[in-house]
Structure 1
Amino acid sequence: MIFYLALPLTLALYLLTRALYRRFPLPFINPVLIPMLIIMGLLAIWQLPLEQYKAGTAPITFFLEPAVVALALPLYSQMRHIRAKLLPILLCCLLAVLISVAGTLLLGHFLHTPRDMLSSVATRSITTPLAMSVSQSLGGIPDIAVAIVILVGILGALIGFPLLKLFGVKDPHAQGLAMGACSHAVGTAAAAEQGVEQGAFSSLAMVLCGILTALVAPLLFHLLA
């Protein structure tokens, strides 16, 4: 039964949450967080098979890759600004990756975190496919890496813009870079809600930080882990 209900249920919860957010634009009314919690609750309460739910939502998974590719459109629209600020953008993304990965490794060292768990958490700020690949190459557990990435993305979407406002970061380009560097695709979706510039620069940061993490994380892991 859940196989046939999975797709309409997921879409209905997403659209309802989006409509609720438009009426009450509060950070915790998130179209990823709310449907996820409801579906998890339904699967747990009625002991529904997760495999059937995943099979039922296969069309959503199929369209995920074209949706990611479509992020190139806002990037193209902001190409003039990106070219003018390319060096600062690269430096900011590199610094974000170094702080994220090195900070995780150093904290894990002091907390005596097991090596496989450490390598699963170190890739928390990049998009899910890259996080799975990089963490697995470091000896991590891909399932844990995915869970951490999703949690970080949702947390960033919830508190990212309130924090930026609290610290007086008003430039849309800086806001977008911060969201994309810290909260990958979920943060980029939240940035796109704020404006085209925020969405474009968040997409750019997500891509650059993913590439830089894939290059830098193995080196930092062997040096610091």
Structure 2
Amino acid sequence: MTPWSETPLFGLVATLVLYELACRVQRRWPLALLNPVVLTIAALIALLQLAQIPYDHYRHGGDLLLFLLGPAVVALGLPLYQRRAEIVRQLRAIVLAVLAGALGSVLSACGLVLLCGGDRLLALTLAPKSVTTPIAIGIADTIGAITPLTAAVVVLTGCLGALIGPGFCRLIGLRDPLAMGLALGTAAHGLGTGRMLEIHRGGGALAGLAIGLNGLLTALLIPLLLWLLEWLGVLVG
């Protein structure tokens, strides 16, 4: 008989139960650091380590939840549709802002890796860090990056953005909820969007738009930038 921990049901049930508990903790102590996603990730890591359960066993069920990320991103189209007139009026500014964010994300990630002595492979792995997980994994596979590490960095980026993003925006004087939503969606994809929806529905709608735009632009930009940097000799070897 197959142990329960090796069935897809284990990863699915463990994630959902721990997330529900994390949500209750966050409702009891409504602190930004107690983000339910962050708490769930930490609890899952602790559970697998303490019970000595291989990650591959958990992944059988975890992949079911990963599959749902695609429909979840599509579902963000509803608040976008509700604010379509406002979005159309500002579409040019929105696209330019997300393009700047996509460029900044890719160049800063690759630049920091190279400045710290990292190699080409690590730079490529971190390049799509601000793109939603399904798109980031596709980009990583295409450019020959370390796909599991890319996925981990994407989740870490989203968690960090959800935790400190709103506070950082206010610190630098960015208080308009729509602009804040655009920034969080571009930098912290789904997790940042989820946090923004808690703060302001309109800002969450723009964050959802930014997820799609950033994914599209980054998927187009990374191969182009890769070719350019290799032509310049920056990413050789």
TM-score category (smaller protein):
over 0.9
Tell me how far apart the structure 2 counterparts of residues 5 and 138 of structure 1 sit (CA, whole Å): 33
Distance verdict in 2 for CA 1:178–1:131, change over 3 Å: same
Letter in 2 for 1:160: G
Tell me how far apart the structure 1 counterparts of residues 14 and 143 of structure 2 sit (CA, whole Å): 37
- Structure 2 residue runs of 5 or longer lacking an equivalent are 230-234
Letter in 2 for 1:220: L
Structure 2 match to 1:116: 121
Structure 1 match to 2:181: 176
Structure 1 match to 2:108: 103
Structure 2 match to 1:190: 195
Structure 2 match to 1:26: 31
User: Residue by residue, what CA displacement relative to the aligned partner does 1:58-116 show, whole Å, maximum 9, x if unpaired?
Assistant: 55345333222211111111111101110110110111111111222333333332111
Structure 2 match to 1:126: 131
Note if contact 1:177-1:205 (Cα within 8 Å) is conserved in structure 2.
yes
Structure 2 match to 1:154: 159
Letter in 2 for 1:184: H
Which of the residues 58, 63, 69 maps onto 1:64?
69
Task: Please state whether the residue corresponding to 1:182 is helix, strand or coil.
Answer: helix
Letter in 2 for 1:170: R
- Structure 1 residue runs of 5 or longer lacking an equivalent are none
RMSD (Å), alpha carbons: 1.7
Which of the residues 9, 14, 25 maps onto 1:9?
14
Note if contact 2:80-2:209 (Cα within 8 Å) is conserved in structure 1.
yes
TM-score w.r.t. the length of structure 2 is 0.88
TM-score w.r.t. the length of structure 1 is 0.92
Deviates more, 1:65-74 or 1:196-205: 65-74
Tell me how far apart the structure 1 counterparts of residues 111 and 117 of structure 2 sit (CA, whole Å): 10
Tell me how far apart the structure 1 counterparts of residues 222 and 12 of structure 2 sit (CA, whole Å): 36
Tell me how far apart the structure 1 counterparts of residues 111 and 38 of structure 2 sit (CA, whole Å): 30
Note if contact 2:113-2:122 (Cα within 8 Å) is conserved in structure 1.
no
Tell me how far apart the structure 1 counterparts of residues 11 and 112 of structure 2 sit (CA, whole Å): 40
Distance verdict in 2 for CA 1:59–1:120, change over 3 Å: closer
Tell me how far apart the structure 2 counterparts of residues 188 and 135 of structure 1 sit (CA, whole Å): 22
Structure 2 match to 1:84: 89
Displacement of 1:203 after TM fit?
0.5
Letter in 2 for 1:172: P
Displacement of 1:193 after TM fit?
1.3
Tell me how far apart the structure 2 counterparts of residues 97 and 77 of structure 1 sit (CA, whole Å): 25
Displacement of 1:121 after TM fit?
0.5
Percent of aligned pairs with the same amino acid = 39
Displacement of 1:136 after TM fit?
2.6
Note if contact 1:105-1:221 (Cα within 8 Å) is conserved in structure 2.
no
